[in-house]
């Protein structure tokens, strides 16, 4: 069976990290297999599970704040941006271990917008989705969503994430040991029940904040989301007691089949469409260049002459795959995404000036080489 990736996303305080811990232990005890665990939260001080890949090994969050003079959210976004530049190495590490694991579970920052709406979040999500069957688990704090207005806000956020990622989604109502999630399931399947809850909330609001325009707006949005609910899988879990995790894993298996039947096909269609558009753009650009140089379009050179110059921006990896021995979390194999020489002694900003200088020299050298090869190819084309 292919490696299944579960990306855990949710509002701050929804219990994502505790959910990750319980999911990790549940898979170990019930499935008798160890999941591959990745932590993408650079600001967390301690995680209650062993991570195979931890962003904190490569990026020092406090140093990013100090050296770039950023606030907490800006530093998280910058850390994710730096990490995403090495996402190809992360994917390679996971691919090398896909025969040993059935699940890859990924924890994301509590500041949901830093991951969902940033370019790095899209790069990381799409990199996994294009390689492995990927499911998004949207974690909801059940007790806090007992108010219909708050509930509707969370559902709109879930809808926007589904639209943004274009991946199968499971809405996970967490903390069911505090409040049962039956009310949420009823609201999502019975419009009249949700209307009644809105009316009761309006009547019981002493400040009048739930009446008038707000009530009308929520009613309209609930009607709009009916189709969204019909395509959505939901389950209630308790990260404290472990209840509901068997149901969650069953839904993930079902969503993997949905990914194979629909999302993968749709993704391949979109990629093919982008490839065709890019090909048309290149042909149009080439025709414009030939017109400017007054070259006959019917003349053709050799295959070697027509090949485009390749610019290699990354150094190819050797046999070293970044594996290191664990210092803690006995029994968990830690993998660093950056090779030792790339980690800059563990500080992302150590030697920044030298690194910038090397980038500039590499850019100038590569640019000159590409320009020289392009000019030479054009000259050969004209001579022929």
Helix (H, G, I), strand (E, B) or coil at 168: coil
CB atoms within 10 A of CB 251: 19
pLDDT of residue 54: 95
In this predicted structure, the answer to whether residue 365 has a pLDDT above a threshold of 50 is yes
pLDDT of residue 344: 43
- SS percent in the chain: helix, strand, coil, step 5: 55, 10, 35
Q: What are the two backbone dihedrals, phi and then psi, of residue 177, each rounded to the nearest 5 degrees?
A: -70, -25
CB atoms within 10 A of CB 169: 23
In this predicted structure, the answer to whether residue 358 has a pLDDT above a threshold of 70 is no
Q: Indicate the range of 88-97, 136-145, 286-295, 331-340 predicted with least confidence.
A: 331-340
CB atoms within 10 A of CB 204: 8
Q: Indicate the range of 57-61, 187-191, 193-197, 212-216 predicted with least confidence.
A: 212-216
In this predicted structure, the answer to whether residue 209 has a pLDDT above a threshold of 80 is no
Contacts of 30 (CB under 8 A, 6+ apart): 245, 246
Nearest to 377 by CA among 301, 276, 291, 282: 301
In this predicted structure, the answer to whether residue 290 has a pLDDT above a threshold of 90 is no
In this predicted structure, the answer to whether residue 174 has a pLDDT above a threshold of 60 is yes
d(CA 88, CA 180): 41
Q: How far is the CA of 32 from the CAs of 103, 125, 186, 356, in angstroms? A: 12, 27, 35, 47
Q: Indicate the range of 55-64, 75-84, 226-235, 251-260 predicted with least confidence.
A: 226-235
Q: How confident is the model at residue 234 (pLDDT cuts 50, 70, 90)?
A: very high
Residues 25-34: contacts with CB under 8 Å, at least 24 apart: 25/49, 25/242, 26/242, 26/245, 26/246, 26/249, 27/102, 27/103, 27/249, 30/245, 30/246, 31/102, 31/103, 31/249, 33/101, 33/102, 33/103, 34/101
Walk me through the domains of the chain, giving residue ranges and CATH numbers: 4-179+232-259 (3.40.50.300)
pLDDT of residue 369: 57
| Listed ranges 31-35, 143-147, 320-324; the one with the highest mean pLDDT | 143-147
**pTM of the prediction?**
0.71
pLDDT of residue 364: 65
In this predicted structure, the answer to whether residue 338 has a pLDDT above a threshold of 70 is no
Q: How confident is the model at residue 345 (pLDDT cuts 50, 70, 90)?
A: very low
pLDDT of residue 51: 94
pLDDT of residue 307: 46
pLDDT by residue (tens digit) across 102-161?
A: 999 999 998 888 888 889 999 999 999 989 999 999 999 999 999 888 999 899 999 999
Of residues 345 and 280, more confidence is placed in 280
pLDDT of residue 376: 60
The mean pLDDT value of the chain amounts to 80
In this predicted structure, the answer to whether residue 91 has a pLDDT above a threshold of 80 is yes
In this predicted structure, the answer to whether residue 330 has a pLDDT above a threshold of 70 is no
- Encode burial over 223-248: b for 16+ CB neighbours within 10 A, e otherwise: eebeebbeebbbbbbbbeebebbebb
């Amino acid at each position: 069976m292919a490696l299944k990736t579960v990306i855990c996303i949710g509002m701050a305080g929804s219990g994502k990290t505790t959910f990750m811990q319980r999911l990790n232990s549940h898979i170990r005890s019930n499935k008798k297999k160890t999941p591959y665990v990745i932590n993408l939260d650079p600001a967390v001080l301690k995680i209650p599970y062993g991570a195979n890949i931890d962003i904190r090994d490569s990026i020092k969050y406090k140093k990013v704040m100090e050296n770039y003079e950023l606030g907490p959210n800006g530093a998280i976004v910058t850390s994710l941006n730096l990490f995403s530049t090495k996402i190809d190495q992360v994917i390679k590490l996971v691919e090398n271990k896909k025969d040993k694991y059935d699940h890859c579970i990924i924890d994301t920052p509590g500041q949901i917008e830093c991951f969902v709406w940033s370019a790095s979040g899209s790069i990381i999500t799409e990199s996994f989705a294009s390689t492995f069957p990927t499911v998004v688990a949207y974690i909801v704090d059940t007790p806090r969503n007992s108010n219909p207005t708050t509930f509707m806000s969370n559902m709109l956020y879930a809808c926007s994430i589904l639209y943004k990622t274009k991946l199968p989604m499971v809405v996970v109502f967490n903390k069911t040991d505090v409040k049962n999630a039956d009310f949420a399931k009823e609201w999502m399947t019975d419009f009249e029940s949700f209307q009644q809850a809105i009316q009761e909330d309006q009547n019981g609001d002493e400040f009048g904040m739930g009446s008038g325009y707000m009530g009308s707006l929520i009613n309209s949005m609930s009607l709009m989301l009916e189709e969204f609910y019909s395509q959505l899988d939901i389950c209630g879990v308790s990260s404290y007691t472990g209840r509901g995790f068997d149901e969650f894993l069953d839904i993930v298996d079902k969503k993997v089949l949905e990914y194979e039947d629909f999302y993968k096909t749709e993704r391949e269609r979109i990629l093919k469409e982008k490839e065709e558009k890019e090909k048309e753009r290149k042909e149009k650009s080439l025709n414009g260049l030939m017109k400017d140089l007054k070259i006959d379009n019917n003349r053709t050179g050799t295959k070697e002459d027509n090949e485009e110059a390749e610019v290699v921006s990354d150094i190819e990896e050797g046999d070293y795959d970044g594996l290191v021995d664990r210092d803690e979390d006995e029994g968990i194999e830690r993998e660093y995404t950056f090779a030792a020489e790339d980690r800059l002694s563990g500080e992302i900003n150590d030697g920044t000036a030298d690194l910038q200088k090397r980038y500039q020299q590499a850019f100038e050298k590569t640019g000159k080489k590409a320009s020289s090869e392009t000019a030479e190819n054009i000259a050969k084309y004209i001579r022929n």
